[in-house]
Amino acid sequence: MNKMTVRDVSFAGKRALVRVDFNVPLKAGVVTDDTRIRAALPTLSHILEQGGSAVLMSHLGRPDGTRDPEASLKPVAECLSKLVGKPVQFVDDCIGDGVREKVKNLKAGEILVLENVRFHKAETAKDDSCREFAKQLAEWGDLFVNDAFGSAHRPHASVSRVTEFLQPAVAGFLLEKEIEYLVNKTAHAERPFVAILGGAKVSDKIKVIQNLLTKVDVLLIGGAMAYTLLKSKGLKVGSSRVEDDKLDLASDILIDAEESRKCQMLLPCDHVVAEKLEAGAATQVVKDIPDNMMGLDIGPETRKTYKDLIQSAKTVVWNGPMGVFEIPPFDEGTRDIAQAIANTDCVSIIGGGDSVAAIAKFGLTDKVTHISTGGGASLELLEGRDLPGLTSLTDKG
């Protein structure tokens, strides 16, 4: 990905229109987790320190084109103000004369937060209104900065369409880091290269599996998705969660894995099972799952095999838990995998979603190389797909 970044342009005397990912949790009008806001600070500091100003746009929630007070970005602007230690302006729309007046009066070193772009249906529309909306947003900047990896897979007005009217369009530091790890480090990985995939549905990971089979040395499978694959092999999975309509597809995946000259794909060989999914449930460790039991975590033999392979790796990518890690005692498999990754000196990339939650739950966030800020976006990159928010940026040279 040879795209321009904030390092390649001067912001002196310029107004940067910045797409950030401020889709943060709110409770009673207060931000309860400011992680995504903090993630934008290096890019914002860089712009302001160079003598530029910043107009920030983001979505929050799914208001579906209506003005929902509970999805307002005003509390986010207040939180950002505390983090940067100076006033941050806010305007209650993202287009129109009121915004134009605010933008016109914005001085170097100042920040203006626009209201939620998804208060307008055109932001996510699939017709010409999206392009027109993007054109109006583009008025607010002299150049465009995308630092919202969590939205980079969306062909939305504020993410990719705005670049049709505003150039140069460059990556912020956060987006640059995501590109470096999820694109460059995986394309030119140090080997052995191990990928770990888990989660509930094999249908969600089909394209990821197919892509990784051509790239990695070892692919380790866990989570409920493993039971669809195991059942397609004719193995007993009891009452485990299975996508019965995907068994043929699962069988095709296994055939692809067997035919792969590059990659070894491993499925769990033993399982932690219980009659019901509930905290403190009586469990057994089995290889063949009885009819009245469901698989809820990988077993100790599987954990040891997986840990040994992880510890010998030079590059590890992980997306998806090994079991129902939110509910003890079904968190041990995910915990062991997380700890094994943390104990290695390899390049470790955590690909968003539940894997990030697991790493945080086990207190290992600072023990891995890179934690992606975008679940859906990181998954699409692992599938080998192009992301509109990346491809629309200006090429270097």
Catalytic residue IDs: 36, 201, 353, 376
3-state SS assignment for residue 260: coil
End-to-end CA, the chain? 12
- What residues are paired with 323 via a beta bridge? none
- What element of type H or E holds 173? helix 173-179
CA distance 275 to 294: 6
* Contacts for 340 with CB less than 8 Å, ≥ 6 apart: 306, 307, 310, 311
Please check whether residue 101 is in contact with residue 80, taking contact to mean a CB–CB distance below 8 angstroms: no
Q: Dihedral through CA 322, CA 357, CA 160, CA 90, nearest 10?
A: 170
Please count the other Cβ atoms lying within 10 Å of the Cβ belonging to residue 388.
18
- Residue positions counted in the chain: 397
Task: Calculate ∠ Cα 377-95-55, nearest 5°.
Answer: 60
Please check whether residue 298 is in contact with residue 256, taking contact to mean a CB–CB distance below 8 angstroms: no
CA distance 361 to 366: 12
Please check whether residue 146 is in contact with residue 169, taking contact to mean a CB–CB distance below 8 angstroms: yes
- Across the chain, where does the E strand assignment appear? 15-19, 26-27, 30-31, 53-57, 89-91, 111-114, 143-146, 169-171, 193-197, 218-221, 264-266, 271-274, 284-286, 294-298, 315-319, 347-350, 370-371
- What residues are paired with 285 via a beta bridge? 272
Please count the other Cβ atoms lying within 10 Å of the Cβ belonging to residue 32.
10
CA distance 284 to 345: 34
What type of residue sits at position 155? Answer: P
- What are the phi and psi torsion angles at 55 (to 5°)? -110, 115
Task: Return the DSSP state at 237.
Answer: B
Q: Which tokens sit at 297?
A: 């975590």
* Contacts for 390 with CB less than 8 Å, ≥ 6 apart: 1, 3, 152, 171, 175, 179
